[in-house]
Structure 1
Amino acid sequence: MKKALIVIDVQESFRQQPIWEAASNPDIVDRTNRLVSACRAQGHLVVWILDGEPGSGGLFDPDRGFVRLMAGLEPLPGEPIITKTSHNAFTTTNLQQLLTQRGITDLLISGIRTEQCCETTTRVGADLGYKMTYVVDATATTPIEHRDAPPGRSVAEILADPLTLTTEEIVRRTEYALAGRFATICTINEVAAQPASIN
């Protein structure tokens, strides 16, 4: 049993969005560092994922300069940094090949956003045969507007709308959707309490 931590999209692009002020875990860098430190101490591979939308002109366009890890995150030499162009970390990357070459069987998932790229990667990873662990408090997300909401509203207007899905609701739904089907749900402290692996 060999494990890898997949850190998904903890990148500057999100901090440039006004809605980031309502993020579920604005201290995601500190949370990520705690989890990364625990996984490194246990001998697990750490893989860093970035989300890029080349040519889009938006905050995820590499040409804008925000497709980089948030300040305070420091990959070690030998820890892969992979840029994806899909919601999950597998479809548009060589992640599966990299994991196969290293004999990885178990994946821990963390990052941004809880219900989007993190959840989607978890579902795909489970379908590919990996044993998935979803580290819920090492993910972050922001409130989601209703599909019929008018564009261009302020953060205050979004948060005041009773149809807006709160971050608490998003996290709860993700836990229910994944647990027992696609992944084991756990916390950073639970990961840190695990013994070092023998690889």
Structure 2
Amino acid sequence: MKTALLVIDMQQGLCEGEGRAHASDEVIARINQVAASVRAAGAPVVFIQHESTSGYLEHGTREWQLADGLEVQPGDLRVRKKTPDAFLNTDLEALLKARGTEELIVCGMHTEFCVDTTTRRALALGYPVVLVADAHTSAGNAVLTAPQVIAHHNATLTNISSFGPRVRAVNSADLIGTAPGASAQ
């Protein structure tokens, strides 16, 4: 099965300061390991960047840039988006179709917004999803801590069956060295 890795919104402005996402340095390290494994298997790595029209996360600003420590290679792909859905008004779906992608590996931030929305949209479009259970993160909110948000989404997204394709939550260590699309449990 042809696979692509989606790295969602791992941007500098979300990895620093007061609103810094939980364990972002550790998440970046895990994403780097998964991305290296995906590249070694010849599958594409797609970095998705959220942007606003002005202010915070404005295109080209320091905060909009991919996070420090994230390993990006010249052959990696990039998609710019303006909503939590990485497919909405972007060329992501066309990019995946052109490469014959049949399955997605998803990681990044923020779990309860862009990771959740993009994962659900991928299911609706017919893509099975491997959610990297320890490589998506959140800053938390007034009701749930970041680890609670992450655990909740690992459980919730894997229980959605109405789309047909399913989500499997797999830890990064179980994906490293595994050919994309193989059954890592």
| TM-score, scaled to structure 1 | 0.82
Alignment of structure 1 residues 75-86 onto 2, 5 Å? 75-86=72-83
Structure 2 partner of 1:88: 85
Structure 1 partner of 2:51: 52
Structure 2 partner of 1:28: 27
Q: Any idea what SS the aligned residue of 1:18 has? A: coil
Structure 1 partner of 2:159: 180
**By how many angstroms is 1:24 displaced?**
4.0
Query: Taking every aligned residue pair, what percent have the same amino acid on both sides?
Result: 29
Structure 1 partner of 2:148: 169
Task: Say if 2:110 is the partner of 1:113.
Answer: yes
- Between the aligned partners of 1:195 and 1:143, the Cα distance in structure 2 is 32
- Between the aligned partners of 2:148 and 2:180, the Cα distance in structure 1 is 34
| Equivalent pair of 1:43/1:197 in contact (CA under 8 Å) | no
Q: Any idea what SS the aligned residue of 2:107 has? A: strand
| Count of residues in Structure 1 that have an aligned counterpart in Structure 2 | 177
Q: Which residues of structure 2 form unaligned runs of 5+? A: 161-165
Tell me which amino acid in the other structure corresponds to 2:171: T
For each residue in 1:13-61, what CA deviation from the matched residue of structure 2 results, as whole angstroms up to 9, or x when unmatched? 11344031x6144422212111111111222210110000112x2x212
Residue of 120, 124, 129 corresponding to 2:126: 129
Measured at CA, do residues 60 and 124 of structure 1 come closer, stay the same or move farther in structure 2, by a change above 3 Å?
A: same
- Between the aligned partners of 1:24 and 1:78, the Cα distance in structure 2 is 27
| TM-score, scaled to structure 2 | 0.87
Structure 2 partner of 1:38: 37
Q: Which residues of structure 1 form unaligned runs of 5+? A: 146-163
Structure 1 partner of 2:163: none
For each residue in 1:83-136, what CA deviation from the matched residue of structure 2 results, as whole angstroms up to 9, or x when unmatched? 100101100210000000110010000001122111111100000001111002
Structure with higher Rg: it is 1
| Equivalent pair of 2:111/2:150 in contact (CA under 8 Å) | yes
- Between the aligned partners of 2:98 and 2:91, the Cα distance in structure 1 is 11
Tell me which amino acid in the other structure corresponds to 2:45: V
| Equivalent pair of 1:53/1:61 in contact (CA under 8 Å) | yes
